Amino acid sequence: MRILMTTDTVGGVWTYTRELSAGLLEEDAATCILLVTFGGPQSVEQIAWLQAMRARYGKRFTFETTTLPLEWQQDNLKSYVYAEPLLMRLARSFRMDLLHTNQFCFGALPLPCPKVVVAHSDVLSWARALRAPGEFAASEWLDTYVALVTAGLKGADVVVAPTAAMLADLQIGFGTQPRSEVIANGRSVEAPRAAKKLQAVTAGRVWDEAKGMAVLEDFFSPMPVLIAGETASPNASYQADRLRRRVLLGQLSEAATLGLFAESSVYLVTSAYEPFGLSAVEAAQCGCAIVARDIPSQREVWGGAAVYFSSALELKAALDHLANQSELLHDMESKALMRARSLYTREQMTRRYLSLYRKLAGTDG
């Protein structure tokens, strides 16, 4: 099967794309992928991965890089109009069998093949989680975004979300989709060998309000709390020095982040808006217990394999409890590890997508 896949270079969608692309090419020798990037300039690491994949898989993996904006970025008027002729040209030359797009708007492409639109997050559900009713003002940008998403969803043969919570949020904002599926994201990491320390870690952009780092500001923690991620806000909306009680590590490489997870006992999901959360899966696969904010998506992802909190006071109590009861801590580490390795691996995700693709193409036998 020849799959044209679109992705973005901005956040967790890139990690998801790496995992799924590699999984598809490993699992099915008949799969060929043309990957097209959007969202801005590619990093040195991203270009290196693209080139390494092409070197490994030859003609089975090709790519096209662009700096065209995503539908949620400020110049979103260009996001579909400028991309459509490029993608239609690539679709013809690649002789694609299926479109897998990680941007909503490309579901509207007039292609004579099945189109899978994957909903990783959306602006309207983000606003419901983080803004008071009526606070998120109408604008030309927002009108354009809603129109792009609506058209893309209407044109999709199937809409996929990583959690039922994300799919429900999408339906609140844009209506029920005629055909939709939940396919959990997957990640497969080899945990570095490291002795565990009694410390909690989280990862993400410190200034990003969706990450909910403000919950870490003031309380005394019985174990050190380390934060890996960008600290400099692009719009000065959040000052990292408000986290003076915590250890700010800045942006780390992937290898260093996994090393940090491997030596930490607890991973904190502080996010107030998190449709899935691949970093927590990585941490669990490295042996961390999960302490997560009590929001529907995290209850769905972790079930009984996490400890939940709704406030800074509850988070402090959870950390106190784990710090003082080593058996409970080890039990929660084991539960998170087992859940992550049984439900959220590259292999699990890849097989679900391959099954969907084959059904859409009529080749599921």
DSSP 235-286: TS-S-GGGGTTSEEEES--HHHHHHHHHHEEEEEE--SS-SS-HHHHHHHHT
Show the tokens assigned to 345.
């691996």
CATH number of 2-186+345-361: 3.40.50.2000
- pLDDT by residue for the chain (365 residues), tens only, comes to 999 999 999 888 999 999 999 999 999 999 999 999 999 899 999 999 999 999 999 999 999 999 999 999 989 989 999 999 999 999 999 999 999 999 999 999 999 999 999 999 999 999 999 998 888 888 999 999 999 999 999 999 999 999 999 999 999 999 988 899 999 999 999 888 899 999 999 999 888 899 999 999 989 999 999 999 988 766 656 667 788 889 999 999 999 999 999 999 999 999 999 999 999 999 999 999 999 999 999 999 999 999 999 999 999 999 999 999 999 999 999 999 999 999 999 999 999 999 999 999 987 65
Every domain of the chain and the residues it spans: 2-186+345-361, 197-343
Compute the distance between CA of residue 195 and CA of residue 286 in angstroms, rounded to an integer.
11
Q: Of 259, 54, 273, 301, which Cα lies nearest the Cα of 164? A: 301
197-343, CATH topology level? Rossmann fold (3.40.50)
- pLDDT value of residue 235: 62
Coil, helix or strand at residue 232:
coil
Do 2-186+345-361 and 197-343 show the same overall fold?
Answer: yes
- pLDDT value of residue 40: 86
SS (H, E, C) 123-182: HHHHHHHHCCCCCCCCCHHHHHHHHHHHHHHHHCCEEEECCHHHHHHHHHHHCCCCCEEE
Instruction: Name every residue whose Cβ is closer than 8 Å to that of residue 317 and which is 6 or more positions away in sequence.
Output: 309
CB 309 within 8 A of CB 320: no
- pLDDT value of residue 334: 98
| Number of neighbouring beta carbons within 10 Å of residue 132 | 8
Residue found by looking up tokens 């995290």 in the block = 298
- pLDDT value of residue 10: 84
Compute the distance between CA of residue 351 and CA of residue 340 in angstroms, rounded to an integer.
16
Compute the distance between CA of residue 132 and CA of residue 137 in angstroms, rounded to an integer.
11
Coil, helix or strand at residue 71:
coil
Compute the distance between CA of residue 297 and CA of residue 212 in angstroms, rounded to an integer.
15
Compute the distance between CA of residue 237 and CA of residue 130 in angstroms, rounded to an integer.
14
